[in-house]
Amino acid sequence: MLTSQKSVQKLERGTITTPAGFQVAGLHSGVKRKRNDLGILYCNTLANAAAVYTLNEVKAAPLYVTKESIAQEGKLQAVIINSGNANACTGDQGKKDAYTMRQVTAEHFSLQAHHVAVASTGIIGLQMPMDKIVPHIKKLKPEATEDSAAQFGQSLTTTDTFKKSTCYQATINGKTVTMAGAAKGSGMIEPNMGTMLGFVTTDAVIESDMIQLALKEVTDKTFNCITVDGDTSTNDMVIVMASEQAGNETLTPKHEDWDQFVTLLKNTCEDLAKMIARDGEGATKLIEVEIKGAKNDEQAIQIGKSVVGSSLVKTGVYGSDANWGRVIAAVGYSGAVVNPDTIDMAMGPIMLLKNSQPVHFSEEEATAYMDNETVKIMVDLHVGDGVGKAWGCDLTYDYVRINASYRS
């Protein structure tokens, strides 16, 4: 089933293996007690690749290995991923283990080592159980099936409550170009980036430096616009791989369909970002904040993240309390340019403020609206043309429960 969205279409049953050339697998190695904890993303040819990483100064060992791999040629053929152990703050042994994961994967699939990336997520500060991981890497048999995509999706998760994936298609040069993504993340989320891993596949013909250009632009408007708890993790990365099997002309910003490619990437990343925000640990609701009339787009996003990151706003949404005072306070301390006399605000269809003056509204209607699974907050500052969105989730009792017992 295809759902139209301008000239880009969403494939409701597409998976990360829908773009030509990609296969995946996932299995249980014993790092976690029950669920899959080891996965592989594999391309049947060398793929052009790019990535973005956490801004946390403390970075996990796999990030250094992956950066080194991509920097050598800008190409990858496989990504080996584990969950349950972050391999972060593990010293020299952690780096040796990440390199071992890369080398064993390369040997198993007859690849050069620098054509393999490594990604890990889970508990920080524990040495990797390599006696479990190494033999199971050799058991990975990637396929391009819905079942293998489901097994792969589960292998990424830690406290996630559902697998996150999406897929889009567009016509470029008369050729069908497909893009898909899979991700994990539900806590320690404040991208620049958060404890999230994202993997995007496409069969578009595009060079690595052009993927990097588009990814940087799109990340700032998607993954970097979500927050669950304001904590920036040590392990975050998003990797994009292009198999170049769609047959289109090589994409650059000068190509007439460049915007099509960027839209494919933006839609894919935005879907994954919203899923991560919606799946915040213990969350019951997705919060979407739309800012209009800011000084510029950057400040609009800054304000949006201030609102969606406010613990008081988040708890108010959980309790279905239309306490707009918490929202306007978060706008005011965002650090962006604000005129305190010109702010309009609404929650969904319910107008709350006009020119910073309260508008009479029905508390019953507001509560009924805020009982929805998605709560949208709109703020118009009337100080410029800047627009932006940010996403987050409510803050619940379960967030405390989950994080109080994460290691036990």
Q: What amino acid positions are annotated as catalytic residues?
A: 195
| Least confident piece of the model among 81-85, 98-102, 139-143 | 81-85
pLDDT reported for residue 211: 98
* Residue pointed to by tokens 């090589």: 250
pLDDT over 60 (residue 29): yes
Over the chain, what is the mean pLDDT?
89
pLDDT over 70 (residue 259): yes
pLDDT over 50 (residue 3): no
pLDDT reported for residue 40: 98
Distance between CA atoms of residues 53 and 64, nearest Å: 10
Nearest partner of 210 among 176, 149, 267, 258, judged by Cα: 258
* Residue pointed to by tokens 């996630």: 160
pLDDT reported for residue 195: 56
pLDDT over 80 (residue 185): no
The tokens for 139 are: 């058991």
Query: For the segment 57-83, what is each residue's pLDDT rounded down to a tens digit?
Result: 778 899 999 999 999 999 999 999 999
Name the amino acid, one letter, at 144: A
Domains within the chain, CATH numbers bracketed: 2-278 (3.60.70.12), 286-404 (3.10.20.340)
Model's pTM, two decimal places? Answer: 0.81
| Least confident piece of the model among 12-16, 110-114, 158-162, 263-267 | 158-162
Mean pLDDT of 41-64: 90
Residues 64 and 165: beta-carbon distance below 8 Å: no
Residues 225 and 190: beta-carbon distance below 8 Å: no
pLDDT over 60 (residue 237): yes
